[in-house]
């Protein structure tokens, strides 16, 4: 095995572990008092980072960022059942309107990278205060669009503004929760956000059917404005003190005796693509690709649902069609908190078994079952059932596949997100943005080929291809769990040590 050189990979239990000295020997009360005092100081400083906010304040913060994380998913989820109405309104085909989904996913990729990059320099709050107004303006623009180019332009701005919600939100979780609590908190955050897929299609379908899809967009704009007001008035900056780029710049100026250095502020250019350098890490790249193939099954099912399940079972009422999205959303909402809690418990149990040694990839163990079975079999089953099973039986079986897919996707994505924050704690938002950015870009490209594939090879074979890719994702996760230590030794992108986690 290659010699491990990064702090994360040191096999010796650290001084922060209870009941051990820095050399890893059991503490018997006869050790060096200076070492013991130093260890205690390190522990106190580490705990102080996460004790800045009370338990009630943390719950309030998670609630605020969950609203901001829910909003972009509501933006995307409410659009699917509106596709038939938009195509009739603009006198074009549903396939052309579906291209807007790819445009919005690409915008999400760029927006997440930009938002996360600047959140590392200026902090979390400024990113929300800039992004939410853009989402509001974009939503109003979408509501008044008359042509497809206009629709795509405003959808880009709308999605760009809301896209940092997930990556920056994950960074906030890393700011305020300890390692052993992070999975549960991340699960609650993702669970709240993923109410979007459960409720958005229903709300969008009902409003589109009984009023207009344009009213839905105005509703989203009003929501974005309300979220902006809440963040501006109630959200405290959560970045770890001294960790922001602007904090370091001010400290540097103060050290140089520059007048007003502590109040220095300037708009700086940050290359958002630099964040993608983190994907040089084999571990982060493998988890990102696995998440891409897993989440792709969600989009393969949802994007054409109105022309697959709707057409197969004669569902033309958009409100009813929107209700068909509920099972997958309920699966998301159910799976995320469970996945986060299980990943925390697995991590704690494994650390005990390893006598205090932290092996980050233990958190990914909880993804194995879902990535091997629930995710690929649900998307494959949906394709086969919709193609070959008629009547109510087919519809009910499809709902079961939708629910299983929702649960399975979150059993993979929630622990994966917590793992990324664990190993890249100092760059949690940036690493999540790199992960989400690559995922969004690849899904945008793959979705562009979805409708042509449905037309050329049919639903069953299209979903079979998606299932095969999901199994590739399982293989990537298994390899990361099995060989994670060696993979981290190949490229050091600044992994977090146990003291800084």
Place of tokens 């983190």: 278
Give the tokens for residue 293: 């193939």
Is the CB of residue 364 less than 8 Å from the CB of residue 350? Answer: no
Is the CB of residue 196 less than 8 Å from the CB of residue 298? Answer: no
Listed residue (192, 189, 213) closest to 201, CA to CA: 213
Listed residue (359, 362, 368, 354) closest to 474, CA to CA: 368
Answer yes or no: is 294 within a domain. Answer: yes
DSSP class of residue 12? S
The predicted pLDDT at position 9 comes to: 41
User: What is the per-residue DSSP string for 242-271?
Assistant: T-SHHHHHHHHHHHTT-TTGGG--------
Work out the angle at residue 473's Cα, subtended by the Cα atoms of residues 470 and 474, and round it to the nearest 5 degrees: 95
* Count of domains forming the chain: 1
Q: Which domain holds residue 146?
A: 52-238+277-500
Global pTM exceeds 0.85: no
Q: At what angle do helices 124-143 and 55-77 cross, to 10 degrees?
A: 30
Q: Strand pairing partners for 26?
A: 20
Distance CA 100, CA 83 (A): 10
Q: Compute the CA torsion angle 60, 65, 67, 70 (nearest 10 deg).
A: -140
The predicted pLDDT at position 2 comes to: 40
Question: What are the C-alpha distances in Å from 216 to residues 125, 162, 264, 294, 469?
Answer: 27, 16, 42, 29, 34
Answer yes or no: is 429 within a domain. Answer: yes
Listed residue (111, 440, 71, 70) closest to 291, CA to CA: 440
The predicted pLDDT at position 362 comes to: 92
The SS3 of residue 92 is coil
Q: At what angle do helices 450-490 and 375-388 cross, to 10 degrees?
A: 170
* 460-490 b/e (C-beta count within 10 Å ≥ 16 → b): eebbbbbbebbbebbebbbebbeebbebbbe
Answer yes or no: is 349 within a domain. Answer: yes
Distance CA 109, CA 1 (A): 37
Answer yes or no: is 491 within a domain. Answer: yes
Listed residue (372, 211, 198) closest to 302, CA to CA: 198
Distance CA 372, CA 481 (A): 14
Answer yes or no: is 92 within a domain. Answer: yes
Is the CB of residue 286 less than 8 Å from the CB of residue 480? Answer: yes
Is the CB of residue 130 less than 8 Å from the CB of residue 69? Answer: no
Give the tokens for residue 353: 């078994």
Answer yes or no: is 38 within a domain. Answer: no
CATH number of the domain to which 71 belongs: 1.20.1250.20
Answer yes or no: is 3 within a domain. Answer: no
pLDDT tens over the chain, length 501 residues: 443 333 444 433 333 333 333 333 333 444 455 555 555 565 566 667 888 888 899 999 999 999 998 888 888 878 877 777 888 888 888 778 877 877 887 888 888 889 888 988 899 999 999 999 999 999 999 999 999 999 999 999 999 999 888 889 888 998 898 888 888 888 888 877 877 766 777 787 788 778 888 999 999 999 999 999 999 999 999 988 888 888 888 888 888 877 676 777 788 888 888 888 889 999 999 999 999 999 999 888 887 887 788 888 888 776 787 778 788 888 887 888 888 888 889 988 998 888 888 889 999 999 999 999 999 999 999 999 999 998 889 999 999 999 999 999 989 998 998 899 888 887 887 888 888 888 878 887 887 788 788 888 989 999 999 999 999 999 999 999 999 989 998 988 888 776 666
Answer yes or no: is 36 within a domain. Answer: no
The predicted pLDDT at position 38 comes to: 52
User: What is the per-residue DSSP string for 442-501?
Assistant: HHHHHHHTHHHHHHHHHHHHHHHHHHHHHHHHHHHHHHHHHHHHHHHHH--S-PPPGGG-
């Amino acid at each position: 095995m290659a010699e491990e050189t990064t702090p994360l990979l040191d096999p010796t239990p650290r001084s922060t572990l209870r009941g051990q000295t820095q050399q890893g020997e059991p503490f018997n009360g006869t050790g060096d008092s200076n070492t013991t005092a130093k260890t205690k100081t390190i522990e106190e400083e580490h705990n102080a980072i996460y004790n800045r906010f009370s338990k009630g304040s943390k719950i309030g913060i998670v609630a605020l960022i969950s609203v901001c994380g829910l909003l972009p998913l509501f933006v995307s989820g409410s659009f699917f059942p509106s596709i038939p109405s938009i195509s009739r309104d603009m006198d074009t085909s549903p396939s052309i309107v579906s291209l807007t989904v790819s445009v919005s996913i690409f915008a999400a990729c760029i927006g997440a990278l930009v938002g996360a990059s600047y959140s590392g320099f200026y902090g979390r709050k400024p990113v929300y205060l800039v992004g939410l107004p853009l989402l509001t303006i974009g939503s109003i623009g979408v509501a008044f669009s008359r042509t497809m180019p206009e629709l795509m332009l405003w959808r880009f701005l709308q999605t760009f503004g809301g896209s940092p919600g997930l990556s920056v939100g994950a960074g906030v979780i890393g700011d305020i929760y300890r390692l052993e609590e992070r999975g549960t908190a991340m699960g609650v955050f993702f669970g709240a956000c993923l109410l979007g897929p459960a409720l958005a299609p229903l709300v969008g379908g009902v409003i589109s059917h009984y009023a207009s899809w344009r009213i839905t967009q105005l509703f989203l704009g009003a929501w974005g404005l309300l979220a902006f007001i809440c963040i501006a008035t109630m959200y405290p900056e959560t970045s770890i003190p001294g960790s922001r780029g602007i904090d370091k710049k001010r400290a540097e100026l103060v050290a140089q005796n520059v007048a007003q250095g502590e109040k220095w502020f300037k708009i700086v250019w940050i290359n958002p693509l630099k964040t993608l350098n983190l994907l040089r890490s084999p571990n982060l790249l493998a988890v990102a690709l696995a998440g891409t193939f897993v989440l792709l099954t969600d989009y393969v099912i949802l994007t054409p649902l109105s022309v697959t399940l709707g057409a197969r079972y004669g569902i033309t009422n958009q409100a009813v069609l929107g209700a068909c999205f509920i099972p997958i959303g309920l699966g998301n909402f159910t799976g995320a908190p469970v996945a986060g809690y299980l990943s925390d418990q697995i991590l704690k149990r494994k650390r005990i078994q390893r006598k205090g040694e932290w092996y980050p990839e233990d958190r990914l163990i909880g993804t194995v079952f879902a990535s091997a079975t629930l995710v690929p079999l649900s998307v494959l089953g949906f394709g086969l059932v919709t193609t070959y099973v008629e009547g109510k039986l087919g519809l009910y079986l499809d709902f079961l596949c939708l629910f299983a897919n929702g649960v399975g996707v979150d059993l993979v994505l929630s622990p994966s997100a917590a793992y990324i924050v664990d190993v890249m704690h100092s760059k949690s938002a940036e690493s999540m943005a790199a992960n989400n950015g690559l995922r969004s870009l690849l899904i945008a490209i793959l979705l562009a080929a979805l409708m042509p594939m449905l037309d050329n090879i049919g639903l069953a074979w299209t979903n079979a291809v998606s299932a095969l890719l999901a199994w590739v994702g399982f293989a990537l996760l298994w390899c990361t769990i099995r060989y994670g230590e060696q993979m981290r030794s190949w490229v050091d992108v600044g992994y977090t040590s146990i003291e800084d986690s």
